[in-house]
Structure 1
Amino acid sequence: MSGVLRRVRGLPLRSRLALLVAVAVAAAVAAVAVTCWFLTRGQLYGQIDNNLANEAHSLGRSQTAYIVSNCGVSQSPAQPGFPGPTVQIVYPNGQVCTSPGDASIPVQASDLRVARGTQSTSTHTTTASDGTDMRVVTLSAFDQDGERLALSVASPLHEVTKPLTTLAWVLLLVGGIGVLGATAAGLWIARAGLRPVDKLTDAVEHVARTEDLTVRIPVDGNDEIARLSASFNSMTASLASSRELQRQLIADAGHELRTPLTSMRTNIELLTRSEDTGRAIPPDDRRALMASLKAQMTELAALIGDLQELSRTGLGAGDGPVKVVSLHETVRSAVERARLRGPELTIDAELAPWYVRAEPAALERAIVNLLDNAVKFSPEKGTVEVRLMRGTLTVRDHGPGIPADELPYVFDRFWRSPTARALPGSGLGLSIVARTVEASGGEVALAAADGGGTVATMRLPGAPTPPPEIPESAT
């Protein structure tokens, strides 16, 4: 049985569907055929039993006396036989008298019980002395003297078996034709039903072979195959978009890395040429070159760090677990770091307690980037105002502000305002902020502040009191 199942599993899907349809139809046809055959058999047996009972009731005393008078007498060729079915008289002592010209019928125990009056009727099948299968009905009767006896009336069974055999062959033929037709229909239905699956398979194999993500499968209807095709189209579209974003990121990163590397290469070549030619660079120029090298190395390190951070948050998630984070403490720590980076600035912080669920390191990096942006664009001895009220963090600077037509692009990767090209930065800081905040279920926006400058607004869902910790298995 297990070997058969393994062979069935090894068949193609359309062959298995056709086989299942054929087996189901064969089982249904077999059940109907067997039921029909048994119902017909019951009807035929009932009909012959009724006919034999009617024959027994119609026998007159004269016919019974004729059978008794000829009991044991051999019939001559010229003597006519007894008309109708075989009739046999059974006495209580087991003695029998059979109608002249007919083969005797074996007496059953039920026949004797009818003859003795302990049973009213008996119906059974037996074989006559000449080998003919007979259907026998035995009824209680009385002779001319009023003594009890049994009257058995029998008819050849071929009257039932012959039509039953014919019916069995007809049912077998019709059933076979039905199973063959069902198999053919199953193959056609499987082939038609699996045609969309074949298209999907061809598309997947084409994508795997050529990496062509522009392939789309036509979607017809709203059944399971259509949903599968739509899901495949959505998956390839997402993969194509991801590949395009990856290419764009690589191109943008290469462009941004080229600037500090070119500047460093130029400065190093100047220093090398000075050493090779023996022409000393003036001390002031040498100090300027070294400062430029240091600045470019710092900018390159910052850019690489931002790229690493972006690789973690680019899909909306970092590497660390999500925990309950004290947002006000995180902002306070970021404010202290911002004061070190802009010692000439005044950073005014007012922080109300607020707790959120987020990745601690990623959230702190996002807030630091937001404050760094304010520090970078603030005028000398300016003021940066930081407020945290009911989950809304605002960072307002008094710098030159951002033109309205540039606000839609501030969170794009590597985007930098033309007016800020001379300032250090990679153009990734605000992009990291946006992705980290979105991953935490919040939102962030930049807008022009009243009176000049820029105000950054970050909103994170949470509560003023610490919520329960998330189990690590849930993160």
Structure 2
Amino acid sequence: MTRGSGLNLLGLGALGTRILLAFVAVAISTVLVLAAAALIGVDRGVQAGEQADRQEVADSIATTAAEAYQRAGSWDDADLARAVRIGEAASARLVILDAAGTTVISSGVPNENSLGSGGVLGSSASVADITVDGASVGTVRVALSATTSSSVLDIAWKWIVIAGLVALVIAFAASWLVTRFLVGPLHTVTDAARAFTAGNRTSRVAGNAPGELGELGAAFNGMADEVARSERDRRNLTADVAHELRTPLAALQAGLEELRDGLIAPDAERLAALHDQSLRLGRIVADLAELSAAETAGALPRESRVDLAQISQEELALHDARLRAAGLHIITDLSEPVFVQGDADRLHQAIGNVIANAVRYCRDDDSLMVALAVQGDEAVLTISDTGPGIPVDDLPYVFDRLWRGTAARDISGSGIGLAVVREVVAQHGGSAEVESAVGEGTRIIIRLPLARSI
């Protein structure tokens, strides 16, 4: 059982269940807060409405009581029946007090919440002064029945509960749909990853999920493609290395067996042939070691600001004897220093491999041209020759490992030199390109970022 597998709701999995529960908890909290706010708002609104109603009733009763007092001249003879009827019509508890605070008349159903000490209406009642000829002759206190406010709150409670339940159902359904929407692509990626780990290298994430989930699926597919390509390259490399080593090993084995059995004399010519085969084996092993070092290297170990023109000149000088022996004419355009950021030793290796490749394939009296220029923020090193050129069908494979064109099968070489060039240039953040036509020569173009100004 995997970790968290015990938590699984509606087939959503552990993560989906946690997301769903989080959504539901947020929804419940939101509904409770809104319900409390609604109840408080309704209660405050009812109280404000009742206060306005009470004050309106109190003002009306005060006006009526003032008219009655003015006609009678005193509270003893005042006819307050009309004032009482106004209070009864409003279902209000009414108390009229004289100027000394003595109760003149009271009516209505007592409200325990509105009664103060001694049965006088408390602070919750509305008060209005009874004024006659600008002088206060008494006050009116009015309190409405609690039936109205309680009934309003009961109705509010009912609808708030119904609305809350409906909101929770909708929130749960929406949360479940959103969770399925989020977790579904994750399950797809997980299933594809498990199948890929189990050995199915064709396993990929199907479908197009939106946003970051789609990017996750695309990233997994890219990773799977790269792993599959790496495994394919590794198998091809193993087969190519075995093929390249088989020929010199077979020649060495056959020659040594003939010498051992006394079938041929160990003369200088035979020993030289066997020595050549051993040298070929040594070159292949050395080239493989260089390629492995170039491909597995991380950060450049001795990165510094180096002059690419100087490195090119030094490599030409190092290969001078081989260039003259091959009968090549050298043309250079390296007069201006061009600085790049990188490892001088590896750049020496890359440029030397291109020159050595030209020496190997060019004919007597061909020309080799090395030119360096600045284009934008790049240094462009062009090494071109007037050799036999490369067929168009072979151009895409020039920088592949252990690849040699069909027209060059009879020329010694491991097919690793230009692969090393590509790896070294890529480590420096640059690119390597080839242009060629049969019978017109070959041009290798190396582009490297210029060094930062000091």
TM exceeding 0.5? yes
C-alpha contact (below 8 Å) 1:349/1:387 kept by paired residues: yes
Instruction: Measure the CA separation in 1 of the matches of 2:195 and 2:210.
Output: 24
Give the Å deviation of 1:221.
6.5
Tell me what 1:352 maps to: 335
Tell me what 2:207 maps to: 219
- SS of equivalent to 1:213: coil
C-alpha contact (below 8 Å) 2:302/2:343 kept by paired residues: yes
C-alpha contact (below 8 Å) 1:15/1:187 kept by paired residues: no
**2:292 aligned partner, one-letter code:** S
**1:249 aligned partner, one-letter code:** L
Tell me what 1:283 maps to: 266
Instruction: Measure the CA separation in 1 of the matches of 2:99 and 2:396.
Output: 116
**Per the alignment, do residues 42 and 312 of structure 1 end up closer, same or farther by CA in structure 2, a change over 3 Å counting?**
farther
**1:333 aligned partner, one-letter code:** E
- 2:95 aligns with one of 81, 88, 93: 88
C-alpha contact (below 8 Å) 2:300/2:342 kept by paired residues: no
Instruction: Measure the CA separation in 1 of the matches of 2:418 and 2:111.
Output: 113
Instruction: Measure the CA separation in 1 of the matches of 2:206 and 2:35.
Output: 39
Tell me what 2:369 maps to: 386
Instruction: Measure the CA separation in 1 of the matches of 2:240 and 2:229.
Output: 16
**Per the alignment, do residues 248 and 171 of structure 1 end up closer, same or farther by CA in structure 2, a change over 3 Å counting?**
same
Q: Name the Cα RMSD after superposition.
A: 4.2
C-alpha contact (below 8 Å) 2:430/2:449 kept by paired residues: no
- SS of equivalent to 1:138: strand
Structure 1 gap segments, 5+ residues each: 1-6, 71-81, 106-123, 470-475
- SS of equivalent to 1:174: helix
- 2:227 aligns with one of 239, 254, 272: 239
Tell me what 1:425 maps to: 413
1:148 aligns with 2:164: no
- SS of equivalent to 1:330: helix
Aligned runs of 1:120-269 on 2, under 5 Å? Answer: 125-127=114-116, 135-141=124-130, 148-208=137-197, 210-220=198-208, 222-269=210-257
C-alpha contact (below 8 Å) 1:18/1:183 kept by paired residues: yes
Tell me what 2:443 maps to: 456
Give the Å deviation of 1:253.
2.0
C-alpha contact (below 8 Å) 2:304/2:341 kept by paired residues: yes
- SS of equivalent to 1:236: helix
C-alpha contact (below 8 Å) 1:143/1:149 kept by paired residues: no
C-alpha contact (below 8 Å) 1:260/1:296 kept by paired residues: yes
Instruction: Measure the CA separation in 2 of the matches of 1:387 and 1:230.
Output: 43
**Per the alignment, do residues 196 and 103 of structure 1 end up closer, same or farther by CA in structure 2, a change over 3 Å counting?**
closer
Give the Å deviation of 1:402.
4.4
Instruction: Measure the CA separation in 1 of the matches of 2:284 and 2:71.
Output: 124
Residue deviations 1:241-269 (CA, integer Å, cap 9, x gap): 23222322222222222223333333344
1:20 aligns with 2:31: no
**Per the alignment, do residues 24 and 232 of structure 1 end up closer, same or farther by CA in structure 2, a change over 3 Å counting?**
farther
C-alpha contact (below 8 Å) 2:390/2:437 kept by paired residues: yes
Aligned runs of 1:25-36 on 2, under 5 Å? Answer: 25-36=31-42
**Per the alignment, do residues 257 and 21 of structure 1 end up closer, same or farther by CA in structure 2, a change over 3 Å counting?**
farther
1:51 aligns with 2:32: no
Aligned runs of 1:280-429 on 2, under 5 Å? Answer: 282-284=265-267, 287-314=268-295, 319-320=300-301, 322-341=303-322, 344-346=325-327, 348-350=330-332, 351-355=334-338, 356-379=340-363, 382=365, 384-390=367-373, 391-396=380-385, 401-403=389-391, 406-429=394-417
Give the Å deviation of 1:28.
4.2
**What is the number of equivalent residue pairs in this alignment?**
420
**Per the alignment, do residues 300 and 21 of structure 1 end up closer, same or farther by CA in structure 2, a change over 3 Å counting?**
farther
**2:142 aligned partner, one-letter code:** V
Instruction: Measure the CA separation in 2 of the matches of 1:337 and 1:374.
Output: 14
**Per the alignment, do residues 376 and 307 of structure 1 end up closer, same or farther by CA in structure 2, a change over 3 Å counting?**
same
Instruction: Measure the CA separation in 2 of the matches of 1:200 and 1:64.
Output: 94
Tell me what 1:61 maps to: 68
Give the Å deviation of 1:104.
11
C-alpha contact (below 8 Å) 1:127/1:133 kept by paired residues: yes
**Per the alignment, do residues 297 and 58 of structure 1 end up closer, same or farther by CA in structure 2, a change over 3 Å counting?**
farther
Give the Å deviation of 1:310.
2.5
Give the Å deviation of 1:453.
7.0
C-alpha contact (below 8 Å) 1:374/1:397 kept by paired residues: no
C-alpha contact (below 8 Å) 1:367/1:433 kept by paired residues: yes
Give the Å deviation of 1:454.
3.2
**1:283 aligned partner, one-letter code:** P
Give the Å deviation of 1:12.
2.3
Give the Å deviation of 1:55.
3.2
- SS of equivalent to 1:12: helix
Tell me what 2:44 maps to: 38
Instruction: Measure the CA separation in 1 of the matches of 2:313 and 2:335.
Output: 11
Give the Å deviation of 1:426.
0.4
Instruction: Measure the CA separation in 1 of the matches of 2:327 and 2:316.
Output: 11
Residue deviations 1:25-77 (CA, integer Å, cap 9, x gap): 5444544454344334422332243234323333352799899559xxxxxxx
**1:457 aligned partner, one-letter code:** I
Instruction: Measure the CA separation in 2 of the matches of 1:318 and 1:262.
Output: 40
Instruction: Measure the CA separation in 2 of the matches of 1:227 and 1:308.
Output: 37
- SS of equivalent to 2:125: strand
Tell me what 2:80 maps to: none
**1:310 aligned partner, one-letter code:** L
Q: TM-score, normalised by structure 1?
A: 0.72
User: What percentage of residue pairs aligned between the two structures are identical?
Assistant: 23
Deviates more, 1:288-297 or 1:129-138: 129-138
Instruction: Measure the CA separation in 1 of the matches of 2:278 and 2:316.
Output: 25
Tell me what 1:73 maps to: none
